[in-house]
Structure formats: C-alpha cells, structure tokens
Amino acid sequence: MSVLEQLEQEKITALSELESAQTEAELEAWRLAHLGKSSRVMQAFSALGSASKEERPLIGKSANAVKVALESAYAAKNEAMRQLALAQAVEKERLDVTLPGRALRRGRLHPLNQTLREICRVFGDMGFQVYRSPEVETDDYNFTFLNMPPYHPARDMWDTFYTEKEGVLLRTHTSPGQIHIMRERAPEAIRAILPGTTMRYEQLTARSEIEFVQVEVLVVGKGITFADMKGTLNDFAARTFGKDARTRLRPSHFPFTEPSAEMDVECFVCGGEGCGVCKGSGWLEILGCGMVHPTVLEYGGYDPNVFSGFAAGMGIDRSTLMRYRVDDIRHFRNNDVRFLEQF
C-alpha cells in the first residue's frame, strides 16, 4: 500500500473508531492514537524527508488534509461529548423552585406618613409650601385668635386636653398655625399647608383617637374667592381620588371661616352606590373648609377689607382609614409590625 493509500485508510479507520468513542478517556486515547506523536498522520509528516521529491508535496498535502479532517472530527466529537455531559449534569441540578426565596428585608413608611407625603406633593405641585407650628399651644392661638373667645359655644366642638399650666393646652387642630404663619408673613400672600399632630380628649376606641394627624390648607391674598377655594379643593380631590371623582360642598360651621363648608367626595369604594365605608350615603366626608373669617384675618395681621383667603382642614388618619378600610383607628399608633408591614 502506498503512503497515500495508507493515509486514506487511516482516515477511514480513525473516523470510524472516533464514532465509537463513548467516554472522555476513550476520546483521549483516540487522540493520542490518531493525532499523537506516534500516530500514523504524524508519522507521515516525520517521514516526509525520506520521500521522493515528486511524492513529497502529494504526501504532505494528503497528510495535512487527513490531519485537518481528524482534528475537526475530534473537535466536533469533543464538543458533542461536552454538551452531552453538561446536559446530563443540568438534568441532575434541578431545584425545587417552589421552595421559598430569600426575602430581602424591606423597610416601609408608616401609612400615615405615606398619605401625608402624597398630600404634601399634591399641594406642593400647586405652589403650596409646608409650615409647621407647635403641638403645645396657648388657649389664645388655639381658640381666641380663631374667633372663639373664652366660653364661646363653638369651643364645644373640640374636646380639649389642658395642661397644668394656665392657658396652655394640647392643640386640638392645626388651625393655630394659621395665626402663626399669618403673623410671620403679613402682608405677603400665603399659600401653605400646615401638617401636624393634634390631640383631642376622646375615649380611645376603634373609631376615635386622642392623637391624630391633620393637614390645614391656607391661602391668603388679594381677591381670593369662594370659587377659588372650590376649584383648588376640586383639583386636590381629582389628584387624590382620580380625575373623575365627583365632589360636593355642604354648608357647615367653623368659627374661623365664613362661609364654611364640608367637602364630600363620591365614595371611592362603591363609586357612589352606597356601601359600608360611606354608610350607604355614597359620599365620604373628606375635609372642612371655608373663607377665612375677618376676625381671624385681623388677628393674623391682615386687613380684612383688603385681603381675603380660604382655609381647609383634613384628617390624615381618617382618610387613610377609609382608603385601606382599616377597622380600628388605634392601629396607626400601636405600630404593630403585623399591621405596618401591610403598607
């Protein structure tokens, strides 16, 4: 057999042997046998020197072709076996994906602070700034300057915690802040919201709290009208409850506003059809409001003949309670993690 024939024979033999290699060891043995130093192909290369001048290029070319063929067959086989091994390994690495994951520990904002943040943002977008004033107040700021002189019947609307210091009390609403900010800013125009904790002497029950968060809205300037109040509060309602939320103003009374109103929004739970949250009425009371009383403007340092304004007040606890249908208002300050983690 000529060298060329031998190489051709080697190619056929090697490829068929490669076919039957099953393990990595067999493959390696094949590589040593057919591509190693003592393999027929490599031998053919090393014997080139002793071949005739005419034969040399032919044998060289043929040996090279066989080598390339064997190498690429080897590479293909090797890759196929690697793939197979991986596939078998992957098959064994199956997880029970129904096992629980490693939870990330998440912190959460208190639901009241979430609501408060939302309200601050909505009013902030409308050019309102935040103003805060003390939680312990004088009787004057809490009542007298708000058009409730001592023994005024309207004082009954607020059950008050008094301190042992004469004339000092725990503010029953955020409205004293109206006087503070007016006295600070007069005669500049005001567009502010006044959030804060207020306290009322109530029994602690599922429906009534002794401490709660309120937000007061105050606008003072020239030419501020009832229609401006209605428009501003409607915009607030649309931002908070959806742009199609219907609202209505009902006459009411607060000593520090005149005229006064309560704003109801169509119940967002039942869409006005009547449900447990709105007690069947289809309406939810969300805030009290009105045009700032001339006496209050005067106490604040604004001439009521020149300036006018409106104010509104809303309870954050109550609106948060309605929104998430919380059954007990005390949850907010008990801070039970089982409750807080739901928000």
Q: Write out the binding residues for other proteins, residues 194-213 only, by CB under 8 A.
A: 197, 199, 201-204, 210-211, 213
Q: Does 258 bind other proteins (CB under 8 A)?
A: yes
Collect all residues with Cβ–Cβ distance below 8 Å to 61 and sequence separation of at least 6. Answer: none
User: 308 is written with which tokens?
Assistant: 């006018």
Q: Residue 261 touches which of Zn ion, other proteins, none (CB < 5 to 8 A by kind)?
A: other proteins
Q: Quick one: 10 or 111, whose CB is closer to other proteins?
A: 111
Contact flag: residue 124 with other proteins (CB under 8 A): yes
Q: Residue 248: which H helix or E strand, with range?
A: strand 247-254
* Residue 201 binding result from other proteins, Zn ion, none, given CB thresholds of 5 to 8 Å by partner type: other proteins
Shortest reach from residue 331's CB to other proteins, in Å: 11
Shortest distance, CB of residue 282 to other proteins, whole angstroms?
6
Which residues ranging from 256 to 275 are in contact with Zn ion (CB under 5 A)?
Answer: 267, 269-270, 275
| Positive or negative torsion for Cα 149, 315, 182, 134 | positive
Q: Which parts of 175-194 interact with Zn ion (CB under 5 A)?
A: none
Structure token pair of residue 89 = 């390994």
User: Does 239 help bind other proteins (rule: CB under 8 A)?
Assistant: no
Structural tokens at position 196:
């804060």
CB of 310 to other proteins, least distance (A): 10
332 class by beta-carbon count within 10 Å (0-12 exposed, 13-18 middle, 19+ buried): buried
Task: Give min distance, CB of 275 to Zn ion, in A.
Answer: 3
Nearest CB to Zn ion, comparing residues 231 and 276? 276
- For residue 34, the one-letter residue type is H
Binding at 136: pick from other proteins, Zn ion, none (beta carbon under 5-8 Å per type): other proteins
Q: Least distance (Å) from other proteins to the CB of residue 144?
A: 14
Residues 284-323 that bind other proteins (CB under 8 A): 291, 293-295, 304-305, 308
How do strand 247-254 and strand 211-221 relate by DSSP bridges?
Answer: unpaired
In whole angstroms, how far apart are CA 324 and each of 16, 268, 302, 316?
75, 11, 41, 12
Which tokens is 293 given?
């009383």
Find the binding residues for other proteins in span 156-185 (CB under 8 A): 156-157, 161-165, 167-168, 170
- What span, in angstroms and rounded, lies between the C-alpha atoms of 193 and 189? 13
Q: How many residues does the chain have?
A: 343
Residues that bind Zn ion (CB under 5 A): 267, 269-270, 275, 277-278
